[in-house]
Chains A and B, each alone.
Chain A
Amino acid sequence: MPDIGRKNNKTVGMFMKRSCKLNYFDNAATSFPKPAEAGQECLEYLNETGGPYGRSFYKRALDVSRKVENSRDRISEFFGISNADKLVFSLNATHALNTVLKGLDFKENKEVWISPLEHNAVTRPLKYLEDLGKINIKFLPSRLDGLIDMEKLLKTNLSKAGLIVICHQSNVTGLVQPAADIKKAVNKIPLLLDAAQSAGYLEIKTEEWDIDYLAFTGHKGLLGPTGTGGLYIKNPESLRPLLNGGTGSRSDSWKTPEFMPDKMEAGTPNIAGILGLAAALKHRPEPAHSKEEFILMMNEISEIPGITVYKALDSKNQGEVFSINLEKRGKLISPSDFGEKLYRDFGIETRVGLHCAPLAHQTTGSFPQGAVRISPSIYHGTDDFKYLLKAVKRTASEL
Chain B
Amino acid sequence: MKVFVFESTRAVIKSEKAVRAENIECLIIPVPRSVSANCGMALKIKEKYEEKVREVLKALKINTKVFNIEDITL
Contacts and interface: CB of A to CB of B under 8 A. Distances in A.
Interface of A: 53-57, 62, 65-66, 69, 72, 84-85, 247-253, 257, 259-262
A261 B40 contact: no
18 contacts: A53-B9, A54-B9, A54-B10, A54-B39, A54-B41, A56-B40, A57-B29, A65-B13, A66-B13, A66-B17, A69-B9, A247-B8, A249-B9, A251-B36, A251-B37, A251-B40, A252-B37, A259-B7
Binding site of A, secondary structure by majority: helix, strand, loop or mixed? Answer: loop
Contacts, number: 65
Contacts of A253: 37
Contacts of A53: 9
B9 A57 contact: no
Interface residues of B, number: 18
Given A62-B28, A259-B8, A261-B8, A249 B40 contact: yes
A262 B41 CA distance: 14
B37 A250 contact: yes
B65 interface: no
B64 interface: no
Contacts of B37: 250-253
B14 interface: yes
Interface of B: 7-10, 13-14, 16-17, 28-30, 36-41, 63
B39 A57 contact: no
Contacts of B29: 57
A72 B10 contact: yes
A250 B65 CA distance: 14
Contacts of B17: 66
A54 B7 contact: no
Given A54-B39, A247-B8, 9 more contacts: A54-B8, A54-B41, A69-B9, A69-B14, A85-B10, A249-B39, A250-B37, A250-B39, A251-B40
A57 B63 CA distance: 19
A317 to B, nearest CB: 37
A56 B36 CA distance: 13
Nearest to B13: A69
Most A CB atoms within 10 A — which of B7, B9, B14, B41? B9
